[in-house]
Structure 1
């Protein structure tokens, strides 16, 4: 089972969601001819609602012919949206804040996923080997911790865990490593700790790793992690399309939240995760709206951790 999990995780791409528009029924507005809409996504558990929504007809009923294109991460999706390769994209919130701070013309369309807010039952955590002397987040100071992207949502939320535990976050040594490589690197003691999300959290735990920090939970209750976004130009040129997409995503997220078994099943259609493996994954929350208070915490962390030079204009970034 362990080898199967590791093999499955190694091929599931990861880079690291509900919608700001109110949910609508599947009989919402529909155009006479469906409009082809391409969305850049990452093949991870976070985007299960959009695949489920496509399967259930929540997009087609609103005149949207949905085309989902898998990318390796937000680093490829953000420029793809700005260049017009994708009409919409999926990316973590911190990446979107950083992009907006650099003047990229993007705007969040609707929520993607959020933390469960439950310590011991979240979809992301910091793990160490079973025999590691590290017992709490405070002990991460002076240690090497892997994150999938430096100066992003991973290290800034891990810092929050260290700070909360009474440690010095500036003494943590972060190193960039792809999520699929982390369980093996941890087991081989090439790193002291790893920040992992599902399915790699399950992989690491299957190898005997133990959790020392639930970084999303430590950062803020129900922390918004990712969102769907578009260019500001699309919002100006075709506000009806943006509205219909947001409505379809709201329905999709609500359905996935209410039907976790179906969400687990659809995950097996766009990743290499098997149905048996999907049963044990901890799913994120898929809320209908973005928690703006928690979003403000991420914005403050982006400033204090020097990811941006000034606090992002959340009013301009949000729908």
Structure 2
């Protein structure tokens, strides 16, 4: 794959991708809102006065899910639409939200955190989809040789999540419910993704909800085993995360927001090829190329589809995280 694409080629290619009803890596989903938005607005040209901001900072997590963002930076997709994008590392999506409109223009984050923030009064707009989980991409991992055989054995145990009350916590509640385990029977503790393997290895936690590339890293390092798959049953193929900004920022910077979304369409599409994802992983994580080559790769939808994201809000309502049902259409650009 070439390191950069001509501006005109990138913009026309992005428009074609958005207009297509079948896109690699997004399960054939299309999104009328996204197509209408793109068709009604002219694409900002690189270096033109059409961009309200040409330099933006995006909150990012050094995990597999953010591969398209780093790809768009490395291969010049943002530069092709006139943007200079800097990725700012954050520990989780919830940590990036309070920084929006301050030192972050846009942040990557899980949909649970976005929905929670929106329902509490922070008007957010999701500008690009990010990652959709598939089987075995999110694992409930334990150290080898233990006495636990299924999630039903987690009663009285400690489980690590990167941040409480986020998407991983919610996924665990769904898995526990399927095995007749009450949330109160489990102690959830916060452990950053890069530290989960070490916490398991040293016995600081009994189990950890891990993501790639750290699952594969822990399996290679000390033989970590999967106790359960949190992406199963009602959470199968669940949308996990995307890129959002405040509604105010989007209103003040409509062309910049559109330029960002267009470049991400191209990057998300490119990441439908697992070799693209595994190839860029070592550049922004501590995973070596040998480990990166065997990680499990999920899906990177190239269109925003409120119907898919609605599944997250409905799951939150089911477990009492939302007192009332919430229509996500209000926060999808």
TM range (shorter): 0.7 to 0.9
SS where residue 257 of structure 1 aligns? coil
- Whether contact under 8 Å (1:220, 1:294) holds in the other structure is no
- 1:48 equivalent among 30, 51, 67: 67
Counterpart in 2 of 1:229?
Answer: 244
TM-score by length of 2: 0.79
Q: Output aligned runs, 1:30-45, within 5 Å.
A: 30-33=45-48, 35-45=54-64
Q: State whether structure 2 residue 254 is matched by structure 1 residue 239.
A: yes
Q: State whether structure 2 residue 150 is matched by structure 1 residue 164.
A: no
Q: State whether structure 2 residue 79 is matched by structure 1 residue 64.
A: no
Q: Output aligned runs, 1:44-123, within 5 Å.
A: 44-83=63-102, 85-116=103-134, 118=135, 122-123=136-137
- Structure 1, 90-99 or 68-77: larger mean CA deviation: 68-77
**What root-mean-square deviation, in Å, do the aligned CA atoms of Structure 1 and Structure 2 show?**
2.6
TM-score by length of 1: 0.83
Tell me, in whole angstroms, the C-alpha distance in 1 between the residues paired with 2:192 and 2:223.
20
| 1:293 shift after superposition | 4.3
Counterpart in 2 of 1:299?
Answer: 313
Cα distance per residue 1:205-259 (max 9 Å; x no partner): 221221121112344231111100111012222322222211110111001113x
- Whether contact under 8 Å (1:30, 1:63) holds in the other structure is yes
Counterpart in 2 of 1:248?
Answer: 263
SS where residue 258 of structure 2 aligns? helix
SS where residue 216 of structure 1 aligns? coil
SS where residue 57 of structure 2 aligns? strand
SS where residue 145 of structure 1 aligns? strand
| 1:113 shift after superposition | 0.6
- Whether contact under 8 Å (1:141, 1:162) holds in the other structure is no
Gaps of 5+ in 1: 1-16
Counterpart in 2 of 1:217?
Answer: 232
Tell me, in whole angstroms, the C-alpha distance in 2 between the residues paired with 1:221 and 1:291.
16
| 1:290 shift after superposition | 4.4
Counterpart in 1 of 2:11?
Answer: none
Tell me, in whole angstroms, the C-alpha distance in 2 between the residues paired with 1:100 and 1:293.
17
